[in-house]
Structure 1
Amino acid sequence: MAEAEVRTAVPADAAEIGRIQLSTWRTSYGGILPDEVLERLDPDDTERQWAEAIGEDSSTVLLALEGGWPVGFCAGGKAPGGESADAHGGVPEDADTVGLVSALLVEPRWGRRGHGGRLLWHLAERLRAEGLTRAITWIPEADEASMSFYRGIGWEPDGTVRTLDAGGRPVRELRLTGGLDLRLA
């Protein structure tokens, strides 16, 4: 395998991160999101949103590279207040130490090469350095590849579900949670 690395994203990476997101969603989420929603995704808006996220102090955006080429990214930080609440709005005792993995995508053509694990490991290191002890993420129930990845590292659904409106079509997401003491194989 060519040289792989993970580094902190900089504003100049926003276009590549947007490209990876749109490419991955259009390739992998065709059966999950309606075609018209995927077709309407605007590269300029996506780039602008990632530039803003990269500039925020409250979040970390990491970029995976193989042979110098951007192949995936992840983003996360401390979970906002309501994100860690249970389905009835109850706040867990550890709410102040819960992180949120808001995005983790690797282009399918670069998949199964360890990039997702490296990205999550580096993000977990950052979250632990901030005093966080576990994290959550939301995954479309139909996204079997992501479910398998997270279950493979010991994260499991915690029973909380939400339904998003994707252009008039409901998309059910499960919240997964797990520890931040990850081991790379």
Structure 2
Amino acid sequence: MTLTLRHAVADDLTAVGALHQRSRVAAYSPFLPPEALAVPTPEAMGEYWTQRWPYERDDHLMTVAERAGRLVGFSYVGPDELDGVVDPTAAMLRAIHLEPTEQGRGTGRALMLDALHTMRSWGHTRATLWVLRDNAHARRFYERGGWTPDGLERDDHIGLALVPQLRYARAL
């Protein structure tokens, strides 16, 4: 079945949220405790995207991937901002999430290539992203796509778990 990429619309956001939660649980359960992944619920994640969308849609882009008319993944790109300072030369790949059954089918790669094209078309020369340090699968995926750690690290929360993250970068 053919994979189709398109820009998200407001009617996609509830389904995006539910997919986002399923993707997080599947990807992060090998290294995060179940209670960290129990919240937010898929419904709450849909509400999160629904509330976020109006404020960011002017300078962010969400692309959804569909197979046979069914949402199977999404990417989200926007400005590269660190500690309140926007880097005008860079854009950030803020998310790629897939239905767990889409792993290994080329969907993530298609979304990444599309995101890189979008950031390049915005006039940026560099792309960044944050990845969970313990997410070896995602780190290998990005490294195969030409991304490398740039030395910056931070901690963030997923549920109540404090999670170390690494920043990756690549030229566009």
**Shared fold per TM-score greater than 0.5:** yes
CA distance in 1, matches of 2:117, 2:153: 27
Match of 2:164 in 1: 172
Shift of 1:53: 3.9
Deviation at 1:84, TM superposition (A): 7.7
Identity rate, percent: 27
Q: Structure 2: where are the runs of 5+ without partners?
A: none
Q: CA deviation at 1:83?
A: 7.3
The 3 A distance-change label for structure 1 pair 145 and 84 is farther
CA distance in 1, matches of 2:31, 2:148: 20
Q: Please, what TM-score do these two structures have when normalized by structure 1?
A: 0.84
Deviation at 1:34, TM superposition (A): 2.5
Whether the 8 Å CA contact 2:37–2:158 is kept in 1: the answer is no
Cross-structure match for 2:62: 61
Decide whether aligned partners of structure 1 residues 167 and 63 sit closer, same or farther in structure 2, where only a CA change above 3 A counts: closer
Residue deviations 1:29-56 (CA, integer Å, cap 9, x gap)? 1133321121121233211221244432
Aligned to 2:101: 109
Judge conservation of contact 1:37–1:167 (CA < 8 Å) in 2.
yes
| Paired residues, number | 170
Which structure has the larger Rg? Answer: 1
Tell me which amino acid in the other structure corresponds to 2:8.
Answer: A
Structure 2 counterpart of 1:8, one-letter code = H
Distance 1:17 1:158, change over 3 A: same
Corresponding position of 2:118 = 126
What's the counterpart of residue 137 of structure 2?
145
* Aligned AA (2:65): A
Q: 1:43-122 maps to which residues of 2 (within 5 A)?
A: 43-55=42-54, 56-82=57-83, 95-122=87-114
Structure holding more strand per residue: 2
1: distance between equivalents of 2:164 and 2:130? 10
Aligned-residue offset at 1:153: 1.1
Between the aligned partners of 2:53 and 2:162, the Cα distance in structure 1 is 29
- 1:53–1:61 Cα contact (<8 Å) kept: no
SS in structure 2 of the partner of residue 19 of structure 1: helix
Normalised TM-score (structure 2)? 0.90
Two-structure CA RMSD over aligned residues (Å):
1.9
Alpha-carbon deviations, 1:126-162, whole Å to 9, x = none? 2112111111111111111110111001100001111
Unaligned segments of structure 1, at least 5 residues: 86-94, 181-185
CA distance in 1, matches of 2:9, 2:95: 16
